[in-house]
Amino acid sequence: MLRLCSVFAVALLAALAVAPAAAAGKRKRPSHVPALQVVPERVYAINGKRVALVHREVRFRGVVRQYVPGQVFSVRVRVGKRRHVVVTRTATPRGTRGEFTVELAVRRVGRLRAVATGAGLRARSRSVHVVRASAAPGQEGLHVQFLQRRLRDLRYLVGLSGRLDGSTQRAIMAYRKVSGLPRNFRASRTIFERLADGRGRFRSKFPNHGKHVEADLSRQVLVLHDRKGRVFRILHTASGTSATPTVRGSYRVYSKTWGVNSLGMVHSVYFHRGYAIHGFASVPAGPASHGCLRIPIPNARFVYRWLDFGDRVDVYR
């Protein structure tokens, strides 16, 4: 009986030792990698979807992991159910893999997809949503989401409602000012294409000032910077006219007044004597104030709460 118990104990210990090893081996099992993949490039990820602008070039890259020199692939690109283009590509070596590319300018709005076949293999790309490159006030859709996401990526103060609302129009105005474009609220093709190229970044003048505000009077924009001196949010402003100019120099926030005063100033943040950053009912494209830095009323609460006593305000032309 004792001998049988000993044998059972040894077997149990052996089983316990093997179980974790087996589990570990199962966790390390490599995932399956397709022998052929077709990946869309020069597109943008918007809420899990791949988006491209109409009349812009899209590229599909084929990756062959079972590569043999001389492999030829037929690539069929479709928009919706209609064939758009069919091309033939020979894979070229890239290390141990083979690659081929297909580039085309898409001339219609719709869903784009590429299917590659050859060498006994077949692969289909993810869908690419080709959207229009302009938007009108009130419109909704992926093209507006693209517009808002790209503006936010460049640090413009904009909401992500998916609708071309007032927040988006104000961000477009600021973007146009920074980019030296005509100052209006239009989401034109020029705006979409510049955003697609990542153009329209604001170049700070005092990145070593830590958390601060830069008021660029020449471009009529107000730019908030985080504690590391990086651009945080950009919004459009209207400074003092030539008769009542805004003071220039480096100042500090010394007073804050919540609410609306008798002059119609909303959520005022004072940085020098009576000069303040504040919301106002009228914020035109150019200088218009008595010396203060006007910002749109919907943005005033955000700026008021973001700024602290002692934060630097740099005003320059």
Per-residue pLDDT tens digits for 211-259 = 999 999 999 999 999 999 999 999 999 999 999 999 999 999 999 999 9
Helix axes 142-153, 189-196, angle to 10 degrees: 60
Q: What is the DSSP letter of 287?
A: -
Reported as a pLDDT band with limits 50, 70 and 90, residue 32 is low
pLDDT value at position 79? 76
User: Taking 60 as the threshold, does the pLDDT of residue 138 lie above it?
Assistant: yes
Give pTM, 2 decimals. 0.86
Question: 9 falls in which pLDDT band (50, 70, 90)?
Answer: very low
Using pLDDT thresholds of 50, 70 and 90, give the confidence band for residue 31: low
* Sheet (strand 293-296) strand order: 255-260, 266-272, 275-280, 293-296
Distances, alpha carbon 247 to alpha carbons 64, 154, 293, in Å? 63, 28, 10
Q: How confident is the model at residue 316 (pLDDT cuts 50, 70, 90)?
A: very high
Residue 68 reports pLDDT greater than 80: yes
Amino acid at 251: Y
pLDDT on residue 175:
98
User: Residue 83: its pLDDT value, please?
Assistant: 65
Identify how many contiguous H helices and E strands the chain contains and give both numbers: 5, 20
| pLDDT band at residue 84 under the 50/70/90 scheme | confident
10 pLDDT above the threshold of 80: no
* Residues 94-113, mean pLDDT to the nearest whole number: 92
Pick from 4-18, 44-58, 107-121, 292-306 the range whose average pLDDT is largest. Answer: 292-306
Spell out the domains of the chain, with CATH numbers in brackets: 36-131 (2.60.40.10), 142-196 (no CATH), 207-316 (2.40.440.10)
Q: How far apart are the first and last CA of the chain?
A: 97
* Helix H or strand E segment including 25: helix 2-27
Residue 136, both tokens: 């009108």
- Average pLDDT estimate for 116-137: 96
Beta-bridge partners for 46: 49
Tokens of 234: 């950009």
Q: Exposed, middle or buried, 167 (CB in 10 Å: 0-12/13-18/19+)? A: buried
pLDDT above 90: residue 13: no
Task: Give residue 155's pLDDT.
Answer: 98
pLDDT at 82: 66
Rounded to the nearest 5 percent, the helix, strand and coil shares of the chain are 25, 40, 40
Averaged pLDDT of the chain: 91
